[in-house]
Amino acid sequence: MSQLKAVRGMRDLMPEVTSLWQHAETVIKSQLHSFGYQEIRLPVLEATELFSRSAGEATDLVQKEMYSFADRSDGSLTMRPEGTAGCVRALIQHSRLSQPARLWYAGSMFRYERPQKGRYRQFEQIGVEVTGYQSADIDAELLEMGLRIWQALGLSDAVTLELNTLGTAQSRPAYRQALLDYFERYRADLDAEQLARLTANPLRMLDSKSPTIRKMIQGAPKLMDFVDKESRAHFDRLGELLTGLGVPFVVNPLIVRGLDYYTRTVFEWTTTELGAQNAVCSGGRYDDLVAKLGGAPTPAMGFAFGMDRVILLMQERAAQIAQAVDFYVVPITDAEQLSAMHLASEMREALPEACVVCHAGSGKIKARMKQADRSGASFALLLGEEEVKAKRVTVKPLRDQGQQNTIERTEAVEWAIKSWRAD
Ligand code: AMP
């Protein structure tokens, strides 16, 4: 029988790495909280139409990357490839657009892409979406919050904020046409896929990775020259606020983002430390999307951290947040198992932040002590026949912190609290 394996591009995260995930998630969520953002939880499955209407029919996301299937009754469903569309759908459905909202979500996204380092078919995002704010101050708030998160993760020097403006949907057709006219000259040099891309979504030529196209782009018309006056003013104001807030950024006129719904500000935090998959957090303004999905016209903006890449970046930087066991309670024989479990319970209750492991699984004392040592605990607390009879506990330091000694059973919890505080 062949061995069953996880689906290609979908990963198991083993305990060696989940502690790093928990750490990163806690850090990010606490920053989101301190900026006044509230959590929203959304379904993984949505009607396929939600994504074709929001991201745009001609995008790679909709054409090639969606996990869609026919439901038994509800027509075509899709496993969410991103969080923005579902969030907007929910706000419309629950009539939440009359008041501004600052929201965040966390969860798995699914895209049928070619897996490689940093690119998976199931990946995790923590995203934020803000609705109801038109002016550039909210753009600045989001970007400042992004910076604070990178700082809290200890990664601010690993990433660069690249910023651009796309102008409004009204200013874009003229630019699309200018790009089409420009690339027309190079028609003979483009392969079938590039030609298809040009026809479907000419702006996407700008973020092509092909060296030939990159060269052609140097002489291409500049988006900034086509952007409407208000969008330019919005962008200038954002630049001013970011400078005032000390948020470093570079303007990259080639950032266009893959989805149709973006307007005005678009951005990516990129890194040079992860190879080809260099975007670690991306987003932008999408002032037309709410109306496009049937809600009252409402300006909005958001971004999402690619958590898999955040974790890779932390690992590149050798951040090891191994879950440290603090106390390991060892019954010397099975006869003391229950007493040991009681002691561990009392310690956990008194010290909820500490990690207390009670030995499980029989074995000789030597094997039990080996497990205690392997756990990384600072102290083992031993309970044998003699200890139970004398109502005492043996405390054995495991990391060269002095001599083994015995203490009263009634004082064991107090001792644990003291030694935890002293640490
Ligand atoms: P997007 O929804 O495309 O704006 O992506 C937001 C972030 O999610 C990107 O900056 C990436 O860090 C991450 N991301 C997008 N696609 C993938 C993928 N296939 N695997 C892992 N991370 C991804």
Dump pLDDT digits (tens) for 119-131: 999 999 999 999 9
- To which H or E segment does residue 5 belong? none
- Is 279 close to ligand 1, i.e. is its CB under 6 Å away? yes
Express as a percent the part of the chain with pLDDT over 70: 98
Mean pLDDT within 379-406: 94
Pocket test for ligand 1, best of 277, 303, 310 (most atoms within 8 A of CB): 277
Ligand 1 atom 2 nearest Cα: 82
Question: Does residue 348 register a pLDDT over 90?
Answer: yes
* Alpha-carbon torsion (240, 217, 184, 182), positive or negative: positive
- Cα–Cα distance between 52 and 43 in angstroms, integer? 17
Question: Does residue 319 register a pLDDT over 60?
Answer: no
| Predicted confidence (pLDDT) per residue in 267-309, tens digit | 999 999 998 889 999 999 999 999 999 999 999 999 999 999 9
Per-residue model confidence (pLDDT) at position 320: 53
- Is 24 close to ligand 1, i.e. is its CB under 6 Å away? no
Per-residue model confidence (pLDDT) at position 158: 94
Local confidence band at 190 (pLDDT 50, 70, 90 cut-offs):
confident
Question: Does residue 205 register a pLDDT over 90?
Answer: no
Question: Does residue 63 register a pLDDT over 70?
Answer: yes
Given a contact cutoff of 8 angstroms between Cβ atoms, the answer to whether 302 and 94 are in contact is no
HEC secondary structure over 115-128: CECCECCEEEEEEE
Q: Which of 334, 341, 385 is CA-nearest to residue 364?
A: 334
Q: Sort residue 357 into left (φ over 0), alpha (ψ -120 to 50) or beta.
A: beta
Per-residue model confidence (pLDDT) at position 200: 83
- Is 281 close to ligand 1, i.e. is its CB under 6 Å away? yes
Q: Which amino acid is at 119?
A: R
Given a contact cutoff of 8 angstroms between Cβ atoms, the answer to whether 267 and 163 are in contact is yes
- Cα–Cα distance between 107 and 307 in angstroms, integer? 10
φ, ψ of residue 296 in degrees (nearest 5):
-70, 140
* Alpha-carbon torsion (232, 236, 241, 245), positive or negative: positive
Burial-class residue 36 by CB neighbours within 10 Å (0-12, 13-18, 19+): exposed
- Cα–Cα distance between 218 and 224 in angstroms, integer? 14
For ligand 1, the distance from its centroid to the CA atom of residue 361, given in whole angstroms, is 43
For ligand 1, the distance from its centroid to the CA atom of residue 280, given in whole angstroms, is 7
Longest dimension (CA), the chain: 93
- Is 282 close to ligand 1, i.e. is its CB under 6 Å away? yes
For ligand 1, the distance from its centroid to the CA atom of residue 119, given in whole angstroms, is 8
Nearest atom in ligand 1 to the alpha carbon of residue 119 is 20
Burial-class residue 169 by CB neighbours within 10 Å (0-12, 13-18, 19+): middle
DSSP helix/strand/coil, 258: coil
Question: Does residue 74 register a pLDDT over 80?
Answer: no
- Is 80 close to ligand 1, i.e. is its CB under 6 Å away? no
Q: Output the pTM of the full model.
A: 0.83
Nearest atom in ligand 1 to the alpha carbon of residue 113 is 19
